Copies of this chain bind each other. A is one copy, B any other.
Amino acid sequence: MQPAAITMGCPVGVGPEIILRLFDSLTEQATLPVVLGDLGVLQRTAGLLQSKSQPVAWQLGQTIKLGTVPVLDLSHLDAEHLRWGQPVKETSLAMAKYIHRATQGALAGDFAAVVTCPISKKALHEAGIFYPGHTEMLAELTSTSRYRMMLAGSRLRVVLVTIHEPLAKVSTMLSADDILDCISMTADSLHRDFGFSKPRIAVAGFNPHSGEQGMFGQEEIETIEPALRQFTGEAEISGPWPPDTIFYRAANGEFDAVVCMYHDQGLIPFKLLHFQDGVNVTLGLPIVRTSVDHGTAYDIAGKGIADASSLRAAWQMAMKIAENRAQ
């Protein structure tokens, strides 16, 4: 198995710090990841944090030694003069480069997976790189038109039909075709990425009590139920379930994933259970891609208090998915 490529994310966010914390916690040689980032920034951060792990330059094909942080050095930022939490054009161009190189390498088979540390959309835009976000950038770089966001943890997996939309508009954006597509992609991922032979997928309703036969809204009857009826794949699909109890049931083992109609329907329960160790998995890409489930956290970057749990979980999940796909 090739190593996973961890992109360093914004050089002045928590990315460098959580990468070092991750390497400090590694004890096995077998599956060490590599970092696509800036060697100078990581070395400076290692000094600051008194990290046990030593960032070293690494090239494709070289062996990786436990105790080191192997870095494919893609930018040569002036580490001494960067300020934590204050991105500049150079740092933003650099973070885009890490993503480009990681994607290219994963497509070429050099990396088993891409694991991304957080970037700042705002900083990216200010540097003249116009993507709505990380995932859209990866989709374009891999020529992917159908992709979905899954949030995955040990107790709960949620997949979102709509994401960053005004809640008042979600109802008009829902379509049976789109919901069906989301269910199908969820089923495919549970098969291929997570190894379920017959995944159990719960589809959440949209309204309180799932509308109670149309009393509190029609979306279940007009849009969600038709989507459920059209599904013909290899999975146990059920719903639309009352949103207020379906996550409890899923978290207690009754379902392998919940398809959610809007951002907070899925994110509220997910963050309640997996605030520290949640993983963002992009479904539909030709490469394996996971991401930490938090932002650049500029307010705490460089203070030595960032938690690497989400990065560790993202890397472990990426390797597991890569193994499942290879079988």
Contacts and interface: CB of A to CB of B under 8 A. Distances in A.
A248 B271 contact: yes
Copy total for this chain? 2
| Secondary structure call for the A interface | helix
Interface stretch (A76-84, A137-145, A165-173, A226-234): A165-173
B248 A272 contact: yes
A93 interface: no
A251 B171 CA distance: 30
Interface in A132-183: 163-172
A207 B263 CA distance: 9
Contacts of A270: 244
A81 to B, nearest CB: 30
A273 interface: yes
A275 B267 CA distance: 18
A101 interface: no
Nearest to A162: B208
A208 B272 contact: no
B168 A168 contact: yes
- Interface size class, chain A: 35 or more
A217 B251 contact: no
B263 A264 contact: no
A206 interface: yes
Given A168-B171, A219-B168, A275-B248, A208 B269 contact: no
A268 interface: yes
Contacts of A248: 271-272, 275
Given A168-B172, A244-B264, 17 more contacts: A164-B216, A165-B208, A165-B216, A166-B216, A167-B167, A167-B171, A168-B171, A208-B264, A208-B267, A244-B268, A247-B268, A247-B272, A248-B271, A248-B272, A264-B265, A269-B269, A272-B273
Q: What 10 pairs across the A-B complex have the smallest Cβ distances?
A: A166-B217, A168-B171, A244-B267, A208-B263, A243-B264, A248-B275, A244-B271, A167-B207, A166-B216, A248-B272
